[in-house]
Amino acid sequence: MRLVERVADGWRLLVGPVGAVEEVTADAVVVATPAPASARLLAEVAPDAAFALAGVDYASVALVTIVLDERVELPGSGFLVPPVDGRFVKAATFSSNKWSWVADSGRTVLRASVGRAGESTALQVQDDDLVARVLADLAEAVGPLPTPADTHVQRWGGALPQYVVGHLDTVAMVRRSVAGVRGLEVCGAACGGVGIAAVVAGAQEAVSRLLADLGD
């Protein structure tokens, strides 16, 4: 989305890539972009919300998926690593332990998350190096692992909003600002929590508020 503009009968939006920008009109708008983009889009229509969102920092992350051809016994469904431990991996999920449809393949599937706030340089390495460092950390955590049958690295730049002290006050300011603009709502990970469940719940709540507002 490139523009959110209030017009007499609703909203005018500009969407699409450079060279193929499309104009859309709407009765109502839900802005669900990351905080920096939301701040830019809301600058004219909800300046207090824009100011609050502009202060939300983000961290980059990479997800490394590892497939082992054989079944490996792993404890639990994964683990989290606190920053004080000084490890490269910050979290791991044992997918084949969590979901039966993965386990039914007869393989072991693990996924590790790397990249913390302020550590973006750690992700500026080749995929092979990233995988090697992840495997080394996993081996220390759960013991030696067989040579992977396959690996996949997915990088997400600036994907994780950082919730500092006072973040709830920031969200409250966004809500108050947007509440004063009929037909406008804001949601997303910066406002309602990271993760699929939190993001979906936040979107549902935003739409419910919007429909109630338009129904008045």
Contact 188, 33 (CB under 8 A): yes
What pLDDT is recorded for position 194?
Answer: 87
What pLDDT is recorded for position 155?
Answer: 94
| Residue 81 φ then ψ, to 5° | -120, 120
Kindly give, in sequence order, each residue whose CB lies less than 8 Å from that of residue 51, ignoring residues fewer than 6 positions away.
39, 173
Q: What is the pLDDT along the chain (216 residues), one digit of tens a residue?
A: 899 999 988 999 999 998 899 999 999 999 999 999 999 999 999 999 999 999 999 999 999 999 999 999 999 999 999 999 999 999 999 999 999 999 999 999 999 999 988 877 888 899 999 999 999 999 999 999 999 999 999 999 888 999 999 999 999 999 999 999 999 999 999 998 888 899 999 999 999 999 998 876
d(CA 17, CA 162): 28
What pLDDT is recorded for position 187?
Answer: 96
What pLDDT is recorded for position 112?
Answer: 97
Contact 93, 142 (CB under 8 A): no
Residue with tokens 């202060």: 55
Kindly give, in sequence order, each residue whose CB lies less than 8 Å from that of residue 160, ignoring residues fewer than 6 positions away.
58, 59, 60, 61, 117, 189, 194
Pick the CATH number of 58-161 from 3.40.640.10, 3.40.50.300, 3.90.660.20, 3.40.470.10: 3.90.660.20
Give the residue range(s) of CATH 3.50.50.60 domains in the chain: 27-56+163-215
What pLDDT is recorded for position 213?
Answer: 82
Pick the CATH number of 27-56+163-215 from 3.50.50.60, 3.40.50.970, 3.30.465.10, 3.40.640.10: 3.50.50.60
Give the residue range(s) of CATH 3.90.660.20 domains in the chain: 58-161
What pLDDT is recorded for position 216?
Answer: 63
Tell me the whole-structure pTM to 2 decimals.
0.82
Q: Hey, what are 213's tokens?
A: 């507002």
Q: Hey, what are 200's tokens?
A: 């979906």
